[in-house]
Amino acid sequence: MNQQALLKQVEGKPAPGSLLVIQAFANTLDVEDGTDQLESLQSWRRWLQEAELIAPGARLGSEQLREAREVREAVRALLAANSAGSSDRGEPDQLSKLLGDGRVTIAAGDEGALGLDLAPARDARHFLAQLRGIVYEAQLKGTWPRLKLCENPECDWAFYDSSRNRSGSWCRMGECGNRLKNRAYRARQRRGR
């Protein structure tokens, strides 16, 4: 995993550890710019390679690309539920989209502790299995509810809420937060007239 490449892809408020992969994966869809890094096999491969998430020559097919898009939408729906303060476990149908036939592999770390094997994936199914493992690990650690989608519907950018009371709503307060607060203020002013 190339953490620097992933950090560039999230543009602030990065998630800790391997949860950064989920954040960057959710942000492969940029609602504000109208770009999608899962638009084609080539763009997906480029994204995976830049982040060093797949091994050179790893197999990617159109069926796996379709599955990756479904997994991303399920992840984004779960992050939206985190933003709305819903259950941090998500809806069963969203979670079932995260489940697949790829197995999550475990490796021993340098200190002998067991954890997810996040070596570059050998193929698309292995990468998607790693994503599932990261979500599961984040739920166990309690960091999952802090990964959210910006509440600005024109943005929908995934961000990590590091606020003490977990009440963060926007990826960038100076942009999205101010924009929405100004809209709400103007709407109140119009109603008051």
CATH number of the domain to which 128 belongs: 1.10.3300.10
Phi (first) and psi of residue 54, to 5 degrees: -130, 155
Confidence at 1, pLDDT banded by 50, 70, 90: confident
**Greatest mean pLDDT among 148-152, 163-167, 172-176, 184-188:** 148-152
Pick from 103, 138, 108: nearest CA to 123: 103
Tokens at 186, concatenated = 């103007």
Crossing angle of helices 19-26/124-141, nearest 10°?
120
pTM: 0.84
Say if residue 43's pLDDT is above 80: yes
Q: How many helices (H) and strands (E) does the chain have?
A: 7, 8
Can you name the residues that pair with 107 across neighbouring β-strands?
A: 115
In sequence order, the 6+-apart residues with CB closer than 8 A to the CB of 61 are 41, 124
Average pLDDT of the chain, as a whole number: 85
Number of domains in the chain: 1
Residues 66, 71, 74, 75, CA torsion sign: negative
Expressed as residue numbers, the domain containing 179 is 3-192
Distance, in Å, from the CA atom of 94 to the CA atom of 149, rounded to the nearest integer, reads 16
Say if residue 147's pLDDT is above 50: yes
Tokens at 31, concatenated = 């609602």
Distance, in Å, from the CA atom of 188 to the CA atom of 174, rounded to the nearest integer, reads 21
Structure confidence by residue, pLDDT tens digits, 6-34: 988 888 899 999 999 999 999 999 998 89
Say if residue 176's pLDDT is above 50: yes
Confidence at 88, pLDDT banded by 50, 70, 90: very low
Any alpha helices (H) in the chain, and if so which ranges? 3-10, 19-26, 41-50, 62-84, 92-98, 124-141, 178-192
